[in-house]
């Protein structure tokens, strides 16, 4: 057995988030810059290269793989990748905007991907178009219901932005009264080209207290590496969580590694650097020492909200959340 991927703070890295594709069919303002810089096609991983890299991570102890993007379901060989992953000893999940998921229900079942985070920031169709700069609200909503009916474990991701959708926090919680899903409110994070503003970010404590003004809520236990603080309103079928990346970071228990569509590896979502694994792979070199070195130099924390806000980073659409 290989030595686990352990950093200088003793954190073992067993969770790989893979961005399958940079591009997306939505244009969420908080994620996609007005003029995105796309990687030229020949610098993106082919299917074989992506599988080789994922295989290396799995041999180095990765037990959980989350597919993300851009929009992961837009990758042409999406089902081939899914089929390969289903033969590995890993727990699978995906983050998707939900617009195309109806096309893949049978594949997801066949290949054992039952955990889906579907991003939906508003329950208002007009607002959806303002926020995503595209149509598709009704399809996403329909697909969330379809996934639940088909027995998938569904979480809805909603990034909360002051003045844009923060008046819908209660509507989202109310949704969980009858719907067996988990709504996850996410603090707005800064990335290249997303016009991040501290005043627009609604902090965890405020989201929670606004909910407490309307409901008596109870805490649900969180998992050991969880980024979400979970709660429920008693008697409701679903529950909700808050992801406090900015105001109460969870770096101490971080077990996450990111692999981008261009074969670059990031040891932290907020890291200002990334290391290509694709270049050594194409030169026929062993990527394991490179992976170990990137993990070894991971920082203890991302350094707080203002430290991150000023830092160089990619756009979120090319990292994958």
Q: Which residues bind ligand SAM (CB under 6 A)?
A: 24, 30-31, 68-69, 71, 95-97, 119, 157, 159, 186, 188-189, 191, 194, 316-317, 320-321
In this structure, what are the phi and psi dihedrals at residue 296, rounded to the nearest 5 degrees?
-60, -30
Cβ neighbours around 79 below 10 Å, total: 17
Which of the 8 DSSP states describes residue 313? Answer: -
Minimum distance, C-beta of residue 6 to ligand SAM, in the bound complex (Å): 27
Q: Which two tokens stand for residue 52?
A: 């080789």
State the burial class of residue 45 (Cβ atoms within 10 Å of its Cβ: 0-12, 13-18, 19+).
buried
Closer Cβ to ligand SAM, 52 or 123, answer by number: 123
Closer Cβ to ligand SF4, 28 or 281, answer by number: 28
Closer Cβ to ligand SAM, 263 or 290, answer by number: 263
C-alpha dihedral sign at 128, 133, 134, 140: negative
User: How far apart (Å, rounded) are the C-alpha atoms in residues 105 and 282?
Assistant: 34
Minimum distance, C-beta of residue 1 to ligand SAM, in the bound complex (Å): 32
Binding of ligand SF4 by 27 (CB under 6 A)? yes
Apex CA 109: angle with CA 107 and CA 115, to 5°?
110
User: What residues between 61 and 80 interact with ligand SF4 by CB under 6 A?
Assistant: 69-71
Closer Cβ to ligand SAM, 60 or 201, answer by number: 201
Binding residue for ligand SF4 (CB under 6 A) from 14, 93, 97, 117?
97
Instruction: Tell me the residue number closest to ligand SAM, measured at CB.
Output: 321
**9, 300 Cβ separation under 8 angstroms:** yes
Residues that bind ligand SF4 (CB under 6 A): 24, 26-28, 31-32, 69-71, 97, 119, 317
């Amino acid at each position: 057995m290989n030595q686990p991927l352990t950093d200088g703070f003793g954190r073992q890295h067993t969770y790989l988030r893979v961005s399958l594709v940079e591009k997306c069919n939505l244009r969420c303002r908080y994620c996609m810059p007005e003029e995105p810089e796309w990687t030229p096609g020949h610098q993106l991983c082919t299917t074989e290269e992506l599988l080789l890299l994922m295989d290396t991570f799995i041999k180095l102890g990765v037990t959980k793989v989350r597919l993300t993007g851009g929009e992961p379901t837009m990758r042409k060989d999406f089902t081939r990748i899914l089929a390969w992953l289903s033969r590995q000893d890993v727990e699978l999940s995906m983050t998707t905007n939900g617009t195309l998921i109806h096309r893949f229900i049978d594949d997801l079942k066949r290949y054992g991907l039952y955990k889906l985070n579907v991003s939906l920031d508003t329950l208002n169709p007009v607002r959806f178009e303002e926020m995503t700069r595209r149509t598709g609200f009704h399809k996403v909503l329909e697909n969330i219901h379809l996934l639940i009916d088909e027995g998938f474990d569904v979480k809805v991701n909603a990034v909360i932005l002051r003045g844009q959708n923060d008046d819908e926090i209660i509507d989202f919680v109310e949704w969980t009264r009858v719907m067996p899903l988990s709504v996850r409110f996410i603090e707005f994070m800064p990335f290249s080209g997303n016009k991040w503003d501290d005043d627009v970010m609604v902090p965890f404590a405020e989201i929670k207290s606004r909910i407490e003004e309307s409901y008596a809520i109870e805490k649900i236990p969180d998992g050991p590496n969880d980024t979400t603080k979970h709660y429920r309103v008693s008697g409701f079928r679903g529950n909700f969580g808050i992801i406090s990346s900015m105001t109460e970071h969870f770096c101490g228990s971080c077990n996450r590694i990111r692999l981008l569509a261009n074969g670059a590896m990031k040891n932290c979502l907020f890291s200002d650097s990334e290391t290509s694994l694709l270049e050594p792979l194409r030169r026929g070199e062993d990527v394991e020492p490179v992976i170990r070195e990137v993990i070894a130099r991971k920082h203890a924390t991302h350094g707080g909200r203002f430290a991150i806000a000023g830092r160089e980073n990619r756009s979120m659409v090319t990292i994958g959340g």
